[in-house]
Chain A
Amino acid sequence: MTVRDVKELLEAEVLCGEDRLDEEICGCFASDFMSDILAFARDQNLLITGMLNPQVIRTAEMVDMPFIVFVRGKVPNEQMIELAEESGMVLLASRFRMYSACGILFMHDPNTKPCKTLYSDQK
């Protein structure tokens, strides 16, 4: 799945980073708690959040997540977009709520396993 696929699936607007839309998504983390992102995000380059302040950009940068989708119709201000542009990040804005956005991406992720397999993996 590429960033462009995410944009299309979530009917998102591209706010910056148009030149990186063909890059691959290797994993996704969704949260509004910055400390949880810092603690638990590993080898994931897509962040889904409804939080809207410059700390989101800095947090994502700290854990090497260059792609961010803002959900719930939230649109970052110019300061945030400039900060992201300085770091070469891609910002997307989607009207979907976080639960729906995660569900849509999960359903379309070619690596998603059927639920039965997921359950058997846990045993």
Chain B
Amino acid sequence: MQDIVFRSEVDGNDYQRAGEASRHTKSALKRLGLPPEIIRRVGVCMYEGEINMVIHADGGTATLTVGIDKIVIELKDHGPGIPDIDLAMQEGWSTANTEAQTLGFGAGMGLPNMKRSSDEFKIDTVVGEGTTVTMTIYIK
């Protein structure tokens, strides 16, 4: 089976529409007939990442690749980068603004949630250039 690739541009200026890409991707995965628990985990990873890109990085690109035994989610932005990854990974640590908090985010759970919901989790970041988060979920 050939890999199926979904690519979405995430608008960094629209807090109200943040999450739409994840919503459409989740619908597409349901149509592919993947197990519900796998779809739920992909949804959480991609949605948290999408929200992060809107809050911190003025948007970016979300690419989801569905292979025969795994799903790879790559979230790439050209935002400010993460100066201290260990700190960013701590539950409760957040630099989100008030607008994000009024929507129920910015509690410092985003990156830890993404790590918890994926089987493999990797952050590549350069301060001043951007961040790429890559998550893999195995289809068992």
**Which chain A residues have a beta carbon within 8 Å of chain B's beta carbons?**
32-36, 38-39, 51, 53-56, 58-59, 61-64, 87
Question: Using Cβ atoms and an 8 Å threshold, which residues of chain B touch A36?
Answer: 107, 109
Q: What are the residues of chain A within 8 A of B26 when measuring CB–CB?
A: 61-62
B51: which A residues are within 8 A, CB to CB? 34, 55
> Which of B41-49, B56-64, B119-127 contacts its partner?
B41-49
Closest CB-CB distance, B40 to chain A, in whole Å? 6
Main secondary structure of the interface of A (DSSP, over half): helix
B19-A58 in contact (CB<8A): yes
Partner of B44, one of A32, A33, A53, A62: A62
Point out the residues of chain A lying under 8 angstroms from B40, CB to CB.
Answer: 62-64
CA distance A32 to B43 in the complex (A): 19
B118 interfacial by beta-carbon distance below 8 Å: no
B51 to chain A minimum Cβ distance, whole angstroms, is 8
Q: Which of B18, B47, B108, B109 is within 8 Å of A62, CB to CB?
A: B47
B22 touches A35 (CB 8 A): no
Q: Do A38 and B47 contact each other (CB < 8 Å), given the known contacts A54-B16, A58-B22, A61-B26?
A: yes
Given A61-B26, A62-B22, A64-B40, A35–B103 Cβ distance below 8 Å?
no
Question: Which residues does chain A contribute within 8 Å of B103, judged by CB atoms?
Answer: 34, 51, 53, 55
* Beta-carbon contact of B36 and A58 below 8 Å: no
- CA–CA, A59 and B48, complex, Å: 9
Chain B residues with Cβ below 8 Å from A64 are 36, 40
Greatest chain A CB density within 10 A among B22, B26, B47 is at: B47
The answer to whether A51 touches B104 (Cβ under 8 A) is yes
Given pairs A35-B105, A38-B47, A38-B109, 20 additional interface contacts (CB within 8 A): A33-B104, A33-B107, A35-B107, A36-B107, A38-B44, A39-B109, A39-B112, A51-B103, A54-B17, A54-B19, A55-B18, A55-B103, A55-B104, A58-B47, A61-B23, A61-B43, A62-B26, A63-B44, A64-B40, A87-B23
Considering the chains assembled together, what is the distance between the CA atoms of A51 and B19 in angstroms?
A: 16
Say yes or no: A35-B48 contact (C-beta < 8 A), given A59-B104, A61-B26.
yes
In the bound complex, CA of A55 to CA of B113 (Å): 17
B104 adjacent to A32 (CB under 8 Å)? yes
- Chain B residues contacting A63 (CB-CB under 8 Å) are 40, 43-44
Q: Which of A53, A62, A87 contacts B104 (CB 8 A)?
A: A53
12 contacts between A and B (CB under 8 A): A33-B109, A34-B103, A35-B107, A39-B109, A39-B116, A51-B103, A53-B103, A53-B104, A54-B17, A55-B104, A62-B22, A64-B40
